[in-house]
Chains A and B, each alone.
Chain A
């Protein structure tokens, strides 16, 4: 479902790997910089220097832009900084992809979102206040939680977590991880891909497949 075929990025050696449906995969890089390059390539915003990336059997960069964007409807991305839209309130950000692609209305999603926030340890009144804020007023943790809930709401076939745990307290990171771990099997065949720099917490991810990418000397 995800295949890297002799992909070369900046200082990273050419690498290949295939992530089958249902797998949990962890890709680590020696530095945050390399991880950012890898993420940009996987998200369709920076073409690799060589090689090809296949998602759902389609060569990502051979597709016309419109088709490439359409492919991402099946993928839930949680970017490191949340990737929230600055002029939309948190609630509108969370609802956007589910409303856009699945036609989920605010009424249909409300209960689900509140329940998810409770899982993350956020209480009712706090969530109400949070929903009305703009992303710039949020902490990095709140941004990531909003992005995670946004992605989970679409029940995507592939979940990509970009540095989900970096810069967070150990307990908070553990809670996030438990939630993503529990979410993974809720859809049969779902791929969960964790992109992270090689840090202490990333070692705790229980992955079916681990790929460690090294830079060329």
Chain B
């Protein structure tokens, strides 16, 4: 007897996941092939705006989180290991450069920009603005997707680097003020054990996070059905998917390079 395959039997989540991965790789392939679209002035303008919204506007909140993280971690390590301990610099580096820098920056970007990007694209689709762009002869992928992915990825990398520097400087400034540990000595300790690979791998993490966050946000925005309720759903799905992806990828990259 012939079996009729009912897609529902496989479960909606499985089908959604398959559609997500297909869409993700399609967008990834597109951006790799069409990054040259950034040479078109209006596309470059969208790119600059994305960098401004995702990177520059996020700096104050990234600064606050970086400063507090740095202070808490530096304060705790100094209390545990004592002042001038060789472990202080090492743990600071491991925690802030390898892990918390890329991870917390990615979380801030997901909270601020991923939901905004997904809902903006979903709204544009629902309001027929994507069709309007096509009627003007403007390729929707080139104009809406390429600059957003490029802008957000660059912003995550730059903001991560900024987070790492701010956290270390503010952390050591705090222990210098609160626990009388010389600031320059602490900084020298970090710089003496910091190598280029450490920084490059942490920036690679940021790059991968940026790419995944932006592609996922564009995917959920553009795949939203034409219904008003689709906008918040697109934003929620993008945020949840990004959070899961970022933690998963963080584990993979840390395992591959540091364990």
Does chain B have a CB within 8 A of A72?
A: yes
Q: Are B138 and A96 in contact (CB under 8 A)?
A: yes
- With A85-B129, A86-B124 in contact, is A101–B137 under 8 Å at CB? yes
Contact B136 A86 (CB under 8 A): no
Given A69-B139, A85-B129, A100-B40, verify A44-B124 contact (CB < 8 Å). Answer: no
- CB pair A79–B135 under 8 Å, yes or no, is yes
Cβ A103 vs Cβ B41 within 8 A: yes
| Contact pattern, A 93-112, Cβ under 8 Å of B = 1, otherwise 0 | 00011011101000000000
For residue A45, give the distance in angstroms from its CB to the closest CB of chain B: 5
Which residues in B have their C-beta under 8 angstroms from that of A75?
A: 135, 137
Q: Give the contacts of A167-187 with B (CB-CB under 8 A).
A: none
* Interface contact B132-A83, CB-CB below 8 Å: yes
B41–A77 touching, CB < 8 Å? no
Complex interface: chain B residues within 8 A of A117 (CB): none
Is A89 interfacial (CB-CB < 8 Å)?
no
Q: Within residues 30 to 49 of chain B, which ones have a CB less than 8 A from any CB in chain A?
A: 40-42
In the complex, residue of chain A having the shortest beta-carbon distance to the beta carbon of B133? A85
- Judge whether A84 is part of the interface by a CB distance below 8 angstroms: yes
Q: What's the Cα separation between A89 and B140 when bound, in Å?
A: 18
Pairwise interchain contact B42-A99, C-beta atoms closer than 8 A: yes
Q: Chain A contacts of B139 at CB under 8 A? A: 66, 69
> How many residues does chain B have at the interface if contact means C-beta atoms less than 8 Å apart?
20
Please pick, from A72, A79, A86, A99, the residue contacting B137 in the complex, using a CB distance under 8 A: A72
Chain A contributes a number of interface residues (CB within 8 A of B) equal to 26
Mostly, the B contact residues are helix
Q: Indicate if A13 sits at the interface (CB-CB under 8 A).
A: no
Tell me, in angstroms, the Cα distance from A79 to B134 when the chains sit together. Answer: 12
Kindly list chain B residues whose C-beta atoms are within 8 Å of the C-beta of A74: 137
- Of B41, B123, B124, B138, chain A has the most CB atoms within 10 Å of the CB of B138
By the criterion CB–CB under 8 Å, are B137 and A73 in contact?
A: yes
Considering only residues 50-85 of chain A, those with a C-beta below 8 Å from chain B are 66, 68-75, 77, 79, 83-85
Residue of B nearest to A97 (CB): B136
Q: Which residue of A68, A72, A87 contacts B136 across the interface (Cβ within 8 Å)?
A: A72
Q: Which residues of A contact B135 (CB under 8 A)?
A: 43-44, 72, 75, 77, 79, 83
CB-defined contacts of B99 to chain A, threshold 8 Å: none
Is A99's CB under 8 angstroms from B123's CB? no
Q: Which residue of chain A is the closest to B134 with respect to CB atoms? A: A69
Residues of B at under 8 Å CB distance from A?
A: 40-42, 120, 123-124, 127-129, 131-140, 143
Q: Taking beta carbons and an 8 Å cutoff, which residues of A are in contact with B? A: 43-45, 66, 68-75, 77, 79, 83-87, 96-97, 99-101, 103, 150
- Known interface pairs A87-B124, A100-B42; 13 further A-B residue pairs with C-beta atoms within 8 A, sorted by A's residue number: A66-B139, A69-B134, A69-B137, A69-B140, A71-B137, A72-B134, A73-B137, A79-B132, A85-B133, A86-B127, A96-B138, A100-B41, A103-B41
Query: Ordered nearest first, which 6 A-B pairs have the shortest CB separation?
Result: A73-B137, A83-B132, A72-B137, A97-B136, A77-B135, A100-B42
